[in-house]
Amino acid sequence: MRRVKLDRIDLRILRDLQADGRITNVDLAKNAGISAPPCLRRVRALEDAGFIRGYHADLNEEALGFGVTVFAQVGLTSQAESDLVAFEKLVANWPQVRECYMLAGETDFLLRIVATDWDSYNKFLTSKLTAAPNVSHVKSALAIRASKHDVGVPIDEEALEHEIG
């Protein structure tokens, strides 16, 4: 990953792509105040430098039948690096787990898990998560509703231009 110094145009491109990953290169260039060919080169450079990890559609979980979201706090019996990595590899293969964070403190990992209903989550919990090697305990918190779901990071062109690069 090569280092790229971000300027105001790069930050505008990142902000616009984060807001709408389907924006055309022509509109992206227009918003950034540059022509289309250099805009496309900048997007490619931002991708190559690792600032843009990918593009995806934001799917409605509930509309697709995943009406249950659970945050599971997982404690492991061992925090040796090899055991932490083994748990992360295991979790990466579970499609119900949509996010996984290793934490500092009492809880070793926080997982965001989706399920069609409470029974399917309970089946996942008992057959996979608590049965996994090195898992000592799991504390589940059922999400009642989501009131905010922003992806990415806040991009303030003026503030970030001076902090990054």
pLDDT digits (tens, 9 = 90+) for 146-163: 999 888 999 986 655 555
| In a domain? residue 81 | yes
Q: What is the pLDDT of residue 147?
A: 93
Handedness of CA 17, 22, 26, 27 (dihedral sign): negative
Domain range spanning residue 90?
68-142
For 79-94, what is the mean pLDDT?
A: 98
In our burial notation (b when 16+ CB lie closer than 10 A, e otherwise), range 13-29 reads: bbbbbeeeeeeeeeebb
Q: What is the pLDDT of residue 129?
A: 98
Domain count, the chain: 2
Chain mean pLDDT for the chain: 93
Do 29 and 93 lie in one domain? The reply is no
Residue 128 sits in a domain whose CATH number is 3.30.70.920
| In a domain? residue 122 | yes
Do 87 and 136 lie in one domain? The reply is yes
| In a domain? residue 162 | no
Q: What is the pLDDT of residue 109?
A: 98
Do 77 and 103 lie in one domain? The reply is yes
